[in-house]
Amino acid sequence: MVFIKNNMILCGLYRFMGAYAFYGLSYMLYNRRLFVKID
């Protein structure tokens, strides 16, 4: 039971980090596109 609980917490943490990295990457690409348009 404790192992399942820790596993769920780890899954949530990995999912949160993955989403954060994905949004950060897309945000950087979007900003780069804006800068290229300005140039």
- pLDDT 10s digits, 1-39: 677 788 888 888 899 999 999 999 999 888 888 777 765
Domain that holds residue 8: 1-39
CA 1 – CA 32 distance, rounded (Å): 46
CA 15 – CA 4 distance, rounded (Å): 16
3-class secondary structure per residue, the chain: CHHHHHHHHHHHHHHHHHHHHHHHHHHHHHHHHHHHHHC
- Quote the pLDDT of residue 20: 92
Domain count, the chain: 1
pTM for this entry: 0.50
- Quote the pLDDT of residue 17: 93
